[in-house]
Amino acid sequence: MKGARSLATCWTGAEKVLGIAAMEQSGPSTRTFSVKTASFQDAVRTLNTLQTNAGYLEQVKRQRGDPQTQLDTMKLYLARSGLQVEDLDQLNIIHVTGTKGKGSTCAFTERILRSYGLKTGFFSSPHLVQVRERIRINGQPISPELFTKHFWHLYHRLEETKDSSSCVSMPAYFRFLTLMAFHIFLQEKVDLAVVEVGIGGAYDCTNIIRKPVVCGISSLGIDHTSLLGDTVEAIAWQKGGIFKHGVPAFTVLQPDGPLAVLWDRAQQISCPLYLCPSLEALEEGGPPLTLGLEGEHQRSNAALALQLARCWLQQKGHQGLGELKMSRPSVLRQMPLAPVFQPTSHMRHGLRDTEWLGRTQTLRRGPLTWYLDGAHTVSSVQACVRWFRQALYRSQRPSRGREVRVLLFNSTGNRDSEALLKLLQPCQFDYAVFCPNLTEVSSASNADQQNFMVTLDQVLLRCLAHQQHWSHLDEEPAGPDLWSRTSPEQGDEPTSLLLASRPRHPHSTGSLVFSCISHALQWISQGRDPVFQPPSPPPSLLAHPVAGSGAGVLREAAAVHVLVTGSLHLVGGVLKLLDPSLSQ
């Protein structure tokens, strides 16, 4: 079997390491730490024992028959931690959900309001490198010391208040972090908190927030279907669950079906819902807006963020809201259009200075350019492909030598990886590389990346399935190279890039499976990234014919373009290795 040969060479030793990793990961649940002596890593390891996102999803699915129970349970956890839902009103929350772009929308919103001199809190998920990224003060992840202090305070408080009749004393991983964020934001006395929904909206644990200042819903699409429903309309119903009576809400242009669902949801509870005008409408009559995040799809997120920030400022009696322009009437279900206004200098600077790692992010390192985007749904991968294409066209072509394109991909959960790969296949990659979301084969030394819900066997077999999907797509008749500046000649591709068992046509892609991100990056970079300089790679990395011949091509290429996508966790692992400062 072709795939098995690739796995055997690039997965050397992984099964042996698996047992070590499993034993090391089982330790934290039996260990106890004092608040004074426990380290940040001790806190993270203990947090990991609560339950990871995969397990949380399964738990929520089982409880779906009585979803209100989930919110009631979260309120009980909040009370046990020493807070009541009324206390959260002090946080002046902006609550945001959506299928794609909700994190970017939150990042834009937080940065705009910070540019007004406000002290901001920001709760988001997932994290890329360190778990403390999920809780930010003034745009910066909380310090390891602050994380450790609040983790143990909350952990011991919940232990002390557990009911002897209850079989579960601790909330699940995401619930615990949500509680922790609320406590930190209150203690740090933030002026506002931007809170990103975890999954869905109606029954997400963040939805114990009863009086946000404003709510937002970014672009909707299909994701988490086993939990939220398998139509965009069903998903829209779940997302609209964050609407509150009398609290202004904003959304971007959606297809008619889900937009009608959102409108009905809002009408039922007397929530004033507004449709955001395009960014072009806000730019009209003034200079164009510069966004800190790349990609055409970010303009929709920025338009929503501007409305959320302006509404928050208006609700709180702030000045400097931007000069109003004439508002055009909406033609969709009589939904009112949000104000069309001239963005202020603070708003412009906020949009320009927004940073949100792992989303349409580019890192240029000598001959290598890394394109990082955690797209993991059909619609977000489509947006990623458009961004990647535009970036390639803008890139400076070397005067001599070859350009090589590499895909580094992984997909997790119940997502249709074959559909995602089909969207990426026309990019005409020279190599497709697959690996699990593990920085190293053993993650025991890095608590932030531990996941107790899967084994190395499972994740590597899934990567092998990705490779097989790619092989089937690659064997289909090749279409025109839509990405090249000029059409390639028939013999441009060296035969060394082809898997021997495949039909040899000009656009065939060599594919490999590696046991961890580090090995994948070592093979792709070939020591040419000036920052990522690991020890010499194991000989097994070059044992497969594709790996051996490809190494020479990558070493000699004038430019190497690497797209990393399919999973935010994969992107996070890549960033951890390419930018060591993120781990400090």
Annotated binding site for Mg(2+): 125, 196, 224
Q: What's the per-residue H, E or C state across 22-86?
A: HHHHCCHHHCCCCCCCCCHHHHHHHHHCCCCHHHHHHHHHHCCCCCHHHHHHHHHHHHHCCCCHH
Residue where the block lists tokens 């994380």: 147
Q: What is the DSSP letter of 220?
A: -
Is 384 in contact with 373 (CB distance < 8 Å)?
A: yes
Q: In whole angstroms, how large is the CA radius of gyration of the chain?
A: 24
Cα 233 from Cα 254, distance rounded (Å): 11
3-state helix, strand, coil in the chain (%, to 5): 45, 10, 45
Q: How many CA atoms lie within 13 A of 496 on its CB side?
A: 11
Sequence ranges of the binding site for ATP? 359, 373
Contacts of 522 (CB under 8 A, 6+ apart): 534, 537, 541
Positive or negative CA dihedral for 318, 138, 348, 563? negative
Cβ of 580: how many Cβ atoms within 10 Å? 12
Whether the bond between 28 and the residue before it is cis, its omega within 30 degrees of 0, is no
Quote the Cα angle for 527-533-536, to 5°. Answer: 70
Cβ of 490: how many Cβ atoms within 10 Å? 7
Sequence ranges of the binding site? 125, 196, 224, 359, 373
Tokens of 147: 């994380």
Cα 464 from Cα 32, distance rounded (Å): 39
Cα 192 from Cα 257, distance rounded (Å): 33
Per DSSP, the three-state class of 402 is coil
CB burial of 283-319 (b: ≥16 within 10 Å; e: otherwise) equals eeeeeebebbbbbebbbbbbbbbbbbbbbbbeeeeee
Contacts of 92 (CB under 8 A, 6+ apart): 191, 192, 193, 213, 312, 316
Could you give phi then psi for residue 479, rounded to 5 degrees?
Answer: -90, -175
Cα 363 from Cα 366, distance rounded (Å): 10
Residues paired with residue 365 on neighbouring β-strands, in sequence order: 368
Per DSSP, the three-state class of 520 is helix
Cα 198 from Cα 114, distance rounded (Å): 23
Tokens of 459: 């994740």
Question: Among the residues of 323-442, which ranges form H helices?
Answer: 345-353, 378-394, 417-424
Cα 366 from Cα 431, distance rounded (Å): 20
